[in-house]
Every structure is written in structure tokens, then in C-alpha cells.
Chain A
Amino acid sequence: MTTSSRPTNPASSPSDDPSAAAVTGPLHIVFEPGFFSSGTVHAALVMGAVVAAVTGTVGTFTVLRAQSFAGHALGELGATGGSAAFLAGTNPLAGFVGIAVISAAVIEALGLRRPRTRDLATGLVLGAGLGLAALFLYLDTTSTSTTGASITILFGSLFAVSNSMVPSVVGLGGLALALVAVCYRMLLLGSLDADMAAAKGVPVRVVGAVYLLALALAVSLAAETIGAVLSTALLVGPPASALRLTKQPGRAVVTSAVTGIAACWLGVLLAYDSYYWPPVRHGWPVSFLIVAIIFVFYLGVDVCSPGRRHRRPVLEASADA
């Protein structure tokens, strides 16, 4: 987390791998030698799938509730949590999750629910959090010199995850999914039409707070494993595309999770292959490749979908008010 600003080579010399010969024929063009036998790639594929599934599910509601800014801010505040944990010498994941949950609580406590002012509350918390991060990093650097920490937290890398992180990430991700699952129907109703939900007796405020907690959990573990940039991309991109493709919420959740996983895996594959690409033969950043895939997919859906202005999906109308 504190050493390098870019992904390390997953396999310093892939062609030396003895099992490379197993991949032959046409597959060889797609999968460079050693792809299936590299432990780093396994960890990246597993972690990418877990994180993409969690953020894809949680993100569907983020998009419906127009809370992308909160989703991004909570991820970026991981810089605060990471630097605080480093300063205190504790587990970084604890710092990430702790700060995200505290920030979510403060955003909720500022009690602004209209989209305009809600983004303001998010922004103020983000500004204060980044200020704290600057202080922590300053205090860190004066003692141990870790200038690149903020950059690492921002960009992260799937190739830097280790298998030992899997249990805690799966556990926290499962908790976030459980929170969403428990209040799925109420959350859906509250996200689509808060007034009608309140009239039907849904505790809109409580559901919103529970959702923000789920968002904080999902985003902070994503930011800790794959970086704040990629976590935002996975949280917003696949769900936004999925909501264009289908208007059925359940199907949108599944579509966005599957799209996110596919984007991650394709990105990992391309990043692995890119060690043979110009201009510099030490690999393209995996985060960049996944972000590019997600964005191109969104653009494709955007251009192809019939939903022009006069036919915007019903789902979009509610949060613009």
C-alpha cells in the first residue's frame, strides 16, 4: 500500500513458467503464457469478481438514488482511513472501513436529503476528510517517508492484492449485500419514489441510513483492494449501463454485477497481455484498462439505447426533482 505507485509485474518473466506449454494453439493469442498458473492473476480474478459483484449490486441503488458523489467520496476518503491506520499502526482495512462508516454517519447527520444540498454535505465531509488525510500523510512522511501513499490509495492495483485479504473482503462484502437484501423492497420503493414510500409506511430515513452504511462498506473495501478510482468506476459504470438496458430492478442488479465481473476479468487479461505491448514493455495499469472497458461499454449502451430525452426511463424521473 505504501511502496509503489503502479502495479508490479504479476509475473516477471511469464515465459519461464513450466506450465506455459499447456496453453497452445489459438488460445495462445488471447492468453499469454502463464496466465492460468500465476497466483497473482488468480488473486486478482477472485478479488475482482467479489468486489465487482458487491459494488455492482450496491451501485444499482447508488445510481437510482443519484448518490454517485457519496459513493465516490466514501472511496476517496479511504486515503484518510489508510493514512490514519498507517499512523496508528493498525490494519489498513480497519482504517478504510472505519473512516467510511464515520463519514457516512456524518453525511447522514448533516441531515440534508434533497439531492442538491446532499451533495454539498458530501462535499464538505470529503473536504474535511482529505484535509485530515493531508495532515496524517504529513505526519507519516516526517517519520517514515511515504509520499506515494495517497497516490497508491487513489489508483491501487488488482495485481497488488494477496490471497490473505480474501476472507475479510468476502465477509465485509457479504455484510453489505446482506444489508441491501434485507431491505431490498423498501429500499427500491424509497429510491424510486420517496414520497410514495413514506405514504406506504416505509421508514424512508432509516432505510436511507442503512443503505448509506452498506455503501460505505462496499466502497471502502473496494477502495482498499483496487483503489478509489476503480471502485467508483465499478460502482457507477456497470449499474448505469444496466439500468439503460433493462427497467426491471432485479434484472438490472444481476446485469450490472455480471458486467462488472466481466469488465474486471477482461481488464486483468488485457493487463497481463500488455506486458508485451508498446510503448513500454512493463505492462499497462490494470485499473486504467478496466475503467476504459467500463466507459466504452457505457458509451456503447448510451449510443445504442433508444432512450433519448423524450423517452427517458421512468426510473430517472424521480431523483431529478
Chain B
Amino acid sequence: MNKTSTSIRNVVAIGIGTAIYVILARFTSIPTGIPNTNIEIVYPFLVLLATIYGPKVGFSVGFIGHTLSDFLMYGQTWWSWVLATASLGLLVGAYGRYFLDLKNGIFNTKQIITFNIVQIITNVISWLIIAPVGDILIYSEPANKVFLQGISATIVNSISTLILGTILLKAYAGTKIKKGSLKKEY
């Protein structure tokens, strides 16, 4: 595929991806019973989109999607958490670009394991480092509050990506035709 057509596809993927992100963020959080802790399907979705379309799309959808959905739901946005979501998309996207091949229908057990190790590491980087540190620097909120929020976000998002993300990626790979799956009949 040549350069301009990939860049157009990236633009459209950012646009549609962001729209899906906003709708999922608005309507599909599943309350776990613990206050203020919801299972968010948006993060597994962001991970799926980033692994398909790469780090640029992952970063942009995380950034624009989180900003828009915050504005639409709360009328304001927390830039530190926006940045955390965007870096989640960026890092998982970079990993997907080099180590995964979902478009050819390949997602084997070894890839499932490495994918989950990578997503847990990136969740830790995003929610336990970027988001709380940003909250302290930009909004000067008390450190123990933001780190507690960070820890609960890390745990919930890692687990929901582990379960829902793996299911989504596997399902997506299943819809694609494997390379070399057609054999010539003699």
C-alpha cells in the first residue's frame, strides 16, 4: 500500500475510532460494585484499534477521544489522564506494529501471552506514572489521593484488557483470512 492511501486510512481510522471511543465511554462502563471503579470497554477497544492501525492512530484516538468524551460528559477535561490514555494507545500501537499480525488472522498463544505482558506494563506506565504525576504537577491535588486512583485504574484496566481485550483481538483476527490458507487442488 502506498504512502498517501495509508495516511488517508489513518485519518479515517482516527475519525471513526474516536466516534466509537466516545460512544463506548458514554454508554458501556460496567459498574463493579466498588464505588468509582468501573470496567471500561473503551480501553480494550483502544488497544484493539492501536494494534490494528499502529501507534499514530492509537495516540490520536486516545488523545482526541478522551478529550471529547470528557468534554461531552463533564464539560471539562483532565489533561494528565488524557495524556495517559494517549500514551497507552501509542505504546500498545508501537508493540502491535512490530510484533503482531492481526490483519493476516494470526494471534497465537505465544502472542496472547506477550500481548498481555506488554499491556500490563503500558497500563502501569499510563495510570501509575503519567496520570498521577500529571495530576500533581498540573492540578496540584494531594499525592496519596491521585496515586490511589492510579492504582485502582491500573488494576481494573489491566484486568479488563486481559479479558475483554484478548477476546476482541482474537475475534478480530478470526474475521481475517489467514495468509496462505488457500491451497491449490490437484
Asked if chains A and B come from one complex, the reply is no
B: residues with CB less than 8 A from A are: none
A: residues with CB less than 8 A from B are: none
